[in-house]
Amino acid sequence: MVEEVKGKWWKFTLVVLFMTCVTYIFVFTIPAIGEDRPDATITEEWTLRFVSGTEYNVGEAGQVIVEVRDRAGSSVATNCTLSVWYPDKSLFLQQQGQASVTGNQYVNFTVPAVTGVYEYQANCTLPGPRSAVVSKSFHVSEFQNETLTKLRRIKAVHVK
């Protein structure tokens, strides 16, 4: 009888150990898969992420670039609508992305004179047809613009 109980206890211990390992994997490992890319939308088949995002100065050339890849890392032919909102959340730009030589989708724009944090978003139609959306932000700096203006004034002063 004692041997029978010991055998059952051993099997119970193995089942508990197995379930603990499975729980650990689902709770701690699987959610971490996308953590190193918080700017990405990851589906079963595709990864959609921005490869742009920066600090801009008023009047300079800006660009929003979105990358769509399959599980093997190859570029996926897709159509993306790229949108950019002013800091007050009114629409600044919305247009169809252009395909680059790398297969990414992009839009070019001139950075407006409004400083602050701009939100931008890509809404892409994927094969299937399915869609995916990813958002990010960039900053137009008032401090940086003021500093550049002061530097230009200093350069404009001629010493005799």
CATH number of the domain to which 48 belongs: 2.60.40.1930
Residue 62 included in any domain: yes
CA pair distance 98, 45, nearest whole angstrom? 22
Say yes or no: 49 and 27 in one domain.
no
Q: What is the DSSP letter of 89?
A: S
Residue 49 included in any domain: yes
pTM of the complete model beyond 0.75 = no
Task: Please tell me which residue, 160 or 133, carries the higher pLDDT value.
Answer: 133
Could you give the number of structural domains in the chain?
2
Select from 128, 130, 129, 92 the least CA-distant residue to 111. 92
pLDDT digits (tens, 9 = 90+) for 20-36: 544 444 433 333 334 34
Which residues constitute the domain of residue 135?
A: 39-148
Residue 157 included in any domain: no
Residue 50, burial from CB neighbour count under 10 angstroms (0-12, 13-18, 19+): buried
